[in-house]
Each structure stands twice: as C-alpha cells, then as structure tokens.
A and B are shown apart, each in its own frame.
Chain A
Amino acid sequence: MNHLPLIIKREYLTKVRNKSFIIMTFLSPLIFIGLIMLITYLTQLNNNKERTVSIVDETGTISQVFTQETDEESNTKFTLLTGISLDDAKKQVQETEQYGLLYIQNSSTPEEIAKQIKFYSEDSPSQKFISHLEQVLSKKLTDETLIGNGVDIALVQDSQTNVNIAQETFSGERTSKLINYSKLGFGLAAGYLLFMFIIIYGNMIMRSVIEEKTNRIIEVIISSVKPVQLLMGKIIGTSLAGVTQFLMWVILGGVMLIIFSMVFGVDLSGMQTPQQELLAQGVDPNIQAQIAGVFQSLPLANLVIAFFVFFIGGYLLYSSLYAAIGAAVDNETDTQQFMMPIIMPLVLAVYVGGFTVLEDPHGVVATVFSYIPLTSPVVMLMRIPFGVPIWQQLLSVVILYISFSGTVWFASKIYRVGILMYGKKPSYKEIFKWLKY
C-alpha cells in the first residue's frame, strides 16, 4: 500500500492551515518591506538636512573652491567670514548653532597650509563630510602647488585619461566588471536562497517530527505505514508548504514594494546596496549594451537546470538530517548539540562561496568544496555563473545524490529507532548504536 500521497497531503495541509504559518506568510513581506522603506526614508532624511559651515580663510584664496551656493554633494552651505578673529568666529558659529567652522591658516607654501587646516565643531563631525572637505582641499592645494611650479593646470586636466579594460576569454566570450559582478550576484543569490531555505524549512521538518513524538501518535501511525514512507512524506509535504510560502513572499513582496513606493513616494533608486555601489564604479557609458551582454554571457539554461537539481538535492540531503535529529530527541531544547554538525558545513559553504569563489571561481578550494556533498549545492550554484565544465557539474550531482540516498538510509535508521524512544536525551554514542539495530 502506498500511502505517500496521503501523508504528503496531510503534512502539507496541516502546515499551510497552521495559524502562525498563515500569519508569517502575510506578515513577513510586510515587515520586510516596511523595514526597507524605513531605512530608505531615514537615510534620505539624514541626507536632506542642510548643514551650514563657516570658513575663516587667512590665505584668502583657498576658500574659493567653496562656492557660496549650497554644495550639492555634501549638502552644505559654506559662508566665508572676513575681518574677524578666530576666537570671535568660533563664538559666532557656536551661538548661531552652525555645523562647524573651517579654519585655514596662512603659510608660506601650500604644503605648510595643508598641515594647518582645522575644523571646529560642537560634536564630532560626520566622517563622510570630513573626507569630502579633505578631498576638495587636497585637490585645490595640489593645483596651487602645480601652478607654483609653473605647470599649466588646463593641460594637466586635459591629459587625464580613463582606462576601462575590455576583457575577453580565449573562446571569445566577453566579460567586464559589470558582467562579473552580475555573475557573482546570481551565484550569491542562489546560494543564500538555498541556505535560508534549508535553515527555515529544515527546522520545520524537525519540529514536525518532534511534535509527533510528544503527541505520542507516532506508534499509531507507524503501525500503518513504514517509517521511511512517513519520513519522505514529511520532507516532501513540508517542502511543498515551504515552496508555497516562498512564492507567496515573492509575489506579496513584489506587489507591496510597488504599492508602498507609490503611496509614500519613496524613491527606491536612491537606495544603494553595496553591490550596486560596486556596480556603479565599474560602469562605463554604454551601459545598455553591457546589460544585454550580461544576459548573453550568463549560461542561463545551465543555471536554471543546475539551480533546481542542486537546490532539491541539497535541500533533501539536509532535511533528512534534520528529521533524524527530530527523531532522536524529545523536545526542541535538546536539539542544540546535534545542530552544530549540520549548521557548520552550511555556514562554511556560504563563506567559501562568498570569499573563495569571488577570489577565484575555479581555484582548488572552490573546486573541492563544490564536490563535497554538504557544501556542493551552495558552492556549485555560486560557481556555475562563471562557467563550470559539464563533467564537473555532473560529477558533483552524482556525488550529491548518492550521499542523499546515504543520509536517507542513515536518517531512517535513526528515525525508526528514535521515534519510539522516550524520556532521555541520547548521546552520539547511543545514536551510533541505533544504526546497528
């Protein structure tokens, strides 16, 4: 008798009908989007505040770089104070509650001037603002030095040349910084998604196994179905519930993002993630052509197929281990000691993926970790956008699925014995003994 569909259906329906599941499904994207909106809004609020800064310039020339108009980049209005002593200027700035006072002391050479520049303020000023001042002053003083040495500034500016190296592989595949960053983005997204999915829904499977133990229903069920069937039904049913929730999040998140940005008028393009900043640095003028190039250069078909194959394999591998833990213990607090060996390789995979693959996608470390079954799903998914030979992918898949059958065997052994054990927390030694029953 094959009860698998029946078990899957029950597991799926119980999960999906669960109140906290429903609430989380609808609330999570709301909270998430709300948080993004809040951060964006606060960042913009911070930037929008205009600063006023006074300048006392004994040289009379250097401060010319600061216009009297509001400076766009630093959002600052500069006021030049003349015919006033430094002490009086300080007092005045303090009384009018200005952001600060820039003091440029006169000296013989620009080099000496540079050493004497000071900024006075009530509180520590923003580092970003100080770097901005330093940048502007440095350029001005450099120019002054050059002029002092008889160099034609216009000529220097004209001879500035930008370099953007065009990269191409021997097989004629074009790459660029943008393309590489996009590949990394795809890889990281896929890897992190799998990581998140395993943690969230692996835990759900574990809890559901523990629930059956604490409800004492397990022996009733197990007299009707084989433990392996129950185990598989649980994993598949919970996964389907997980996929449902994930899809809901994507759809709801997308819809809400659009609605929120329309209602509150928050400009999402004003929000820069680190990746976008990276991108921004590597962008050259013909960005349109580049974006088209990104899609052409990504092995899309390979990526999609590999994504599903590795995602499913990796998820099943880990969830059978989670189920085994659930079977071995009586309550959730006892799971801690068994969680470490599961979480460690997962975290390792994400770190190896994040650093090593970024450094050298086809290096020894990245390659080796893309074969080891506990790390291969994450690492391989991160490597594939950079082009991995098919035989390597196949080998990794074969290893992954063989290991999966191994862990299912292992898990069902532990499961069969563990679900009927009550009362005491087993040690690793005891669990090892169960394998031989």
Chain B
Amino acid sequence: MSSILQANDVVKTYGTYTALNKVSIEVPKGSIFGLLGPNGAGKTSLIRIINQITAPDAGNVLLDGEPLQQFHIKDIGYMPEERGLYKSMKVGEQALYLAQLKGLSKAEAKKRLQYWFEKFEITDWWNKKIQELSKGMAQKIQFVVTVLHQPKLLIFDEPFSGFDPINANRIKDEIIQLRDEGATVIFSTHRMESVEEMCDHIALIHKSNKVLDGKLTDVKRQYKSNTYQVGIASQNNEQLRATLRDKFELNEANFKSIDDDLKVNIKLNNGETSNDLLSYLTSVGQVNHFVEVIPSVNDIFIQTVANNN
C-alpha cells in the first residue's frame, strides 16, 4: 500500500515555543488515519501545515509523492475543529461559494449539492439562512461542503462534536463509505471509542513529538503485555490463588460470570505461550473463561502519555 501523505521531519516554532519537533507521519492510501494526542500537543499545527494554512519551518510534506503546492488545495477537504459558516448567508449560496473556492464550476457544484442535499433530506434548507438552523443542522452543511469536491484526502478535526448520536452515526457511516470509495481520511479526535471503531492506522503526538505510530493492530500487538484474563473454578479458590501467585504475576480481574470463579489477570513469563498457561490451568481447575487482554486505544493513549511525561 503506497502512502498518499508523507510528512518528513516537520518542524514548526512560534517564537520560542516549538509546536512540532521533527514530526514524521505516513498516511497509507485508502486508510482511516487517527491523529491522536492530548490538547495542545500540536495536532492542529500539523493539520494546518498539511492544508497550507501555515508553512513548516523545516521538513517537508508530500502529497501523492509531490511536495505540497497551491493546486493541491482542491485535493484536500478540511473540516476544522473551529468551524462555522457565514451566519447571514443562505445555505445554498454559501455552499456554492465554498465549492467554487475549491475549484468546482458553479454548475457542477450545484449538481453535486443536489445529490448530497437529497441524501441528507435537507433540500428545503437551500434558501434558509444559517442563523435559522440549529447547530447540528449547520454541521451537516459543513460536512457536505467539506466532501463536495471529492478530495483524495479528507481531514476531520473532531467531526462528531455538535451531532446527536443518530447523526453522529450517520456521519460515521458516510466517512467509512467515502473511504471505501477510495478517499483517505485523517481523523483527529478525543473520542477513543470512534478511533477504536474506525481507524486502521494511528499516530500519537505528545508535547510536539510523535511518540507512537503504525497500524492499529500492530500498535496493539506491541502494547499487549501477554496477559490473560482467566475465570477458573476449583475446590479451594484461595489456595489456587496462592499457587498461581507463586508461578505468575497476578492481578485481580473484574468481569461478569455466572460461576463462582476465581477471577484473575495472569501475566505470562518470558518464553511462555498461552497454550502453556491453558494446559497448566486445566490441570488445576475448571477453566470457564480465558481471553487475552488486548489494550484499548484509550489505555494505549493514557499509558503513552504518562510514560512520556
């Protein structure tokens, strides 16, 4: 899989403050790429550089292998976190204006707008002013405007804020569909469950440095600690617990079960496999529950940030 966007050692400083310190990321074509990081980490700075709103002090950004240029603007669709529309302008007029700024002809823009407005069942909004719409309604228009020129690369900064759960789901489905149709999506959010659900790749920026990146499954593999969650029943659970503690690193586990089990997280020693553990466990009791503990994105996020502080 080739990459659509490549940032190489990007540096951005504001006065004495370094917002990005030699950050490199690679976004594979056709992926949904999660750009994560605590507030003020430098995500928005990086996104603004990709959108050519600001220029990097050092390093470069390649789009489809070419250094970023003015005409690339039409290949990118950007929905910023700080977003809004002209309040006193009519919905249709405004959408046409923004589409034309992205290089669409007026006729083409109109045709595509009709398609999206019908899809979202909002055709009767055309002559309304933005100030007459609710926040969620305006966000829908904002989404349409972002994707209308069919860019190769879509950048969403907190796309779900302002949406109710139904519409958030709707937007999520649209994003996935756009990805399936060939677009690449960069996705910056604090909602880890949507990262978990949607992202193929992630990069984590913390204090102006990239501290983690890769395929989500690889990252998880890298962060898993060979720990298994076990529910096991025996005649004397307390005695079993003591036995296990001698052999392994043991933690209390908490999950629902219908049996009166001993519930523990067992971390394997180096060189041991899950099969070794399982065969040992079956010899000492009745195994009712056995599952590998895979770190959630949330855990990885918190752990990485804590480690780098």
Contact = CB atoms under 8 A, between A and B. Distances in A.
Interface of A: 1, 3, 6-7, 10, 14, 18, 211-212, 215-217, 219-226, 416, 420, 422, 433, 436-437
Given A6-B100, A433-B15, A14 B73 contact: no
Q: Which of A3, A220, A221 has the most CB atoms of chain B within a 10 A radius of its CB?
A: A220
Interface string B71-99: 10110101110111111110000000110
A223 B73 contact: yes
Nearest to A437: B14
Interface of B: 14-15, 48, 51-54, 70-71, 73-74, 76, 78-80, 82-89, 97-98, 100-103, 142, 145
Given A1-B103, A6-B100, A225-B101, A220 B88 contact: no
A220 B145 contact: yes
Contacts of B89: 14
A123 B245 CA distance: 112
A6 B82 CA distance: 24
Q: Which of B73, B74, B101, B102 has the most CB atoms of chain A within a 10 A radius of its CB?
A: B101
Q: Which of A6, A18, A219 has the most CB atoms of chain B within a 10 A radius of its CB?
A: A219
A98 to B, nearest CB: 63
6 contacts: A1-B73, A211-B86, A219-B78, A219-B82, A220-B98, A433-B15
Contacts of B142: 220
B82 A216 contact: yes
A416 B52 CA distance: 12
Contacts of A18: 88
A101 B254 CA distance: 111
A16 to B, nearest CB: 13
Listed from nearest, the 4 A-B pairs whose CB atoms lie closest are A216-B84, A224-B101, A219-B80, A223-B51
Given A1-B71, A436-B15, A437-B14, A219 B53 contact: yes
A18 B101 CA distance: 22
Contact of A223 (B78, B100, B103): B78
Contacts of B76: 223
Contacts of A6: 97, 100-101
B83 A217 contact: yes
Nearest to A227: B53
A224 B53 contact: no
A211 B84 CA distance: 11
A123 B270 CA distance: 112
Contacts of B78: 219-220, 223
Contacts of A219: 53, 78, 80, 82-83
Nearest to B102: A224
Contacts of A223: 51-53, 73, 76, 78, 80
A10 B94 CA distance: 9
A319 to B, nearest CB: 20
B93 to A, nearest CB: 9
Contacts of A7: 101
Contact of B80 (A220, A225, A416): A220
Contacts of B53: 219, 222-223, 420
A14 B71 contact: no
A7 B101 CA distance: 9
Contacts of B86: 14, 211-212, 215, 217
A249 B102 CA distance: 37
Q: Which of A10, A224, A420 has the most CB atoms of chain B within a 10 A radius of its CB?
A: A224
Contacts of A220: 78-80, 83-85, 98, 142, 145
Contacts of B85: 215, 217, 220
A224 B80 contact: no
